[in-house]
Amino acid sequence: MIIANIKSVLSKTDWLIIIISTLLTISGILFVYSSGINASGVLVSDEYLKQIFWAIISFLLLISFLLVKQKLVFEYSFIIYVFFIILLFYTLVFGRVVNGSRSWIGVGSFGIQPSEFAKISTIIFLSKYLSSTIHEAGSFRRFVISGLIVLLPFILIAMQPDFGTAIVFIPLYLFIAFFLKINLKYLYFLVGLAATIILFILLPLWQNLALEKPIDILRIFYETPFVIYVYILGTVIMLLSLLGYFYFKKKYYFWIFSSAVIFIIGLGVANLISGLLKDYQMMRLIVFFDPHIDEHGSGWHILQSLTAIGSGGLTGKGFLLGTHSHYRYLPTQSTDFIFSIISEELGFLGAGIIIFAYFILVIRLFIIMNRTRDYFSLGMVSGISGLLVFHFVVNVGMTIGIMPITGIPLWFLSYGGSALVAINIGLGCALSAGARRFEIERN
């Protein structure tokens, strides 16, 4: 019976997803190997061996989660979520500091990054909660509770501080909430709030460093005491519009109130985050506007990445022949800037093939989403799909200078066991949802 069930699941599995993810992982190992070669042609890093080990482990876990029944994942989702929340607390207190963030735990040379697994556990538990309360679609209570599920790991990871990983939880929530029927008004509120926070974080940097002639009036949004007057004015507008809404019952008062709330919270959170950002994190945002501001520091990353990608031309310099990577011009080249190595050695055509592979992978996941017959599976697959898209866009975007440097890995290709294992567990769950879609009916 067990063997027959396994055969049934495997026969309904989308093997194209497994093939593409495996080929991407193998490609990642090859270019991690290339990144370990110095200018003399000598291999000076064993990262590729570690990546092979994690690739084997992650593939076995992918198959394992593919064979696990969705009902088991559903039933134990809360326990899994709580386990990784506890790990995040533990990491915050006892974790190792790597690159300025206390985000790793482990023994000796062995370590894991719990925040990578927290992404998957949050997707699973959030999908369970929203699918279990689908009959309350549109309720404010459902929006608040689901938001708190995501907010907890977001705060714990931001406190490490690892804002690059923390920000991933925003699109994670939006993807799942959209498909599992959170009221669109609440999602518009979140998108507006996120945009406002980003705007007010970047505003003083753009004002002071990117503009040749600063605009004095913009100082009221970030300089004391002007910003205090702005808070007071915003609060007055918020209270008056709220009274107007209850008294006159006009919708435009509600929209004025909502806009004022977004403005006040966004400005406050932006100023708080700006105060928590470390110098190197702030500089990463600054050089996003102009890498030449710190061309021998944080701007070096972007400038050298662009040079490496451009030097690859149409067909590249050839595998293991990348000069920028071998001369160590590319910092964190096996992790954050692995796409730069690929572009230098394989050129535009090779990079295009990689991009096309990710495109097919996402399309196949969207097909699984369309075929799911229960809301739990729909939420889980949409979360995995959304994360994959976000990781790809941000990582590739920062290598070509259209996104700030955040440290978000390019899944399957970047060096790192935690990220590789986490995404393969997520893929296993998504594939299981597709293969077992007739076990649970959508309400």
pLDDT digit string (tens) for 200-228? 888 877 777 666 677 777 777 777 777 88
Please state, in angstroms and rounded to a whole number, the distance separating the CA atoms of residues 25 and 52. 9
How far does the chain reach from its first CA to its final CA, in angstroms? 28
How many domains are there within the chain?
A: 1
Phi, psi of 367 (to 5 degrees): -65, -40
Instruction: Please state, rounded to an integer, the average pLDDT across all residues of the chain.
Output: 88
Range(s) of the domain holding residue 390: 2-181+313-435
Asked if the structure places residue 380 within a domain, the reply is yes
Asked if the structure places residue 366 within a domain, the reply is yes
pLDDT digit string (tens) for 365-398? 999 999 888 999 999 999 999 999 999 999 999 9
Asked if the structure places residue 273 within a domain, the reply is no
Asked if the structure places residue 388 within a domain, the reply is yes
Asked if the structure places residue 59 within a domain, the reply is yes
**What angle, rounded to 10 degrees, do the helices at 375-399 and 338-371 form?**
160
**Tokens 């944080």 -> residue:** 298
Please state, in angstroms and rounded to a whole number, the distance separating the CA atoms of residues 329 and 340. 11
pLDDT digit string (tens) for 87-140? 999 999 998 888 778 888 977 667 899 999 999 999 999 999 999 999 988 888
The Cα-based distances of 89 to 8, 25, 93, 414, 420 in angstroms read: 41, 31, 7, 26, 22
Asked if the structure places residue 64 within a domain, the reply is yes
pLDDT for the residue numbered 4: 44
Over range 219-247, report the average pLDDT. Answer: 85
Please state, in angstroms and rounded to a whole number, the distance separating the CA atoms of residues 122 and 426. 11
Asked if the structure places residue 280 within a domain, the reply is no
Least trusted range by pLDDT, from 124-138, 327-341, 412-426? 327-341
Asked if the structure places residue 374 within a domain, the reply is yes
pLDDT digit string (tens) for 176-191? 999 998 998 899 989 9
Local confidence band at 277 (pLDDT 50, 70, 90 cut-offs):
confident
